Amino acid sequence: MRFRLPRRLLLAGLLAASCYSPTLPLPPPVKPEIIETETGAFRISGGVVPDAQVFALNERNGMINGQEVGANGLYEFELTLAERGDLVQLWYQLGTELSPTTVFELGEDGAGGAGP
């Protein structure tokens, strides 16, 4: 006696199983480019995965700034009340997943603070 599953049932089972396969974690953001403006403010820019939300937390003053990126994944925004020497945590969110955090210091690479 041979038991046969209908092809549709088999295909549905395979599709359901693929939904439970583990996904790769998000990579941490690369250290952003840091520009100290003429007014002494700090502007950061860089790139993450497309359609994510990027956040920066200034550890000294507790201010969080951020931006939603488009299909190109590029961001650029100013950090509120930031000062040279502040440590900043940078991360992004895609859907319900959070990336690991990248920490950097403002102004650590000279006058403009631009880094790799």
In a domain, residue 54? The reply is: yes
In a domain, residue 67? The reply is: yes
pLDDT tops 60 at residue 14: no
State the Cα–Cα distance between residues 47 and 83, nearest whole angstrom.
23
In a domain, residue 2? The reply is: no
In a domain, residue 28? The reply is: yes
Number of domains within the chain: 1
Overall average pLDDT of the 102-107 stretch: 95
CATH number for the domain spanning 40: value is 2.60.40.10
This prediction's pTM: 0.75
In a domain, residue 3? The reply is: no
In a domain, residue 48? The reply is: yes
Q: What is the largest CA-CA distance in the chain?
A: 83
pLDDT tops 50 at residue 113: no
Nearest CA to 33 out of 92, 87, 76 is that of 76
Average pLDDT, the chain: 85
Q: What tens digit of pLDDT does each residue of 49-93 get?
A: 999 999 999 999 999 999 999 999 999 999 999 999 999 999 999
Range of the domain at 57: 24-105
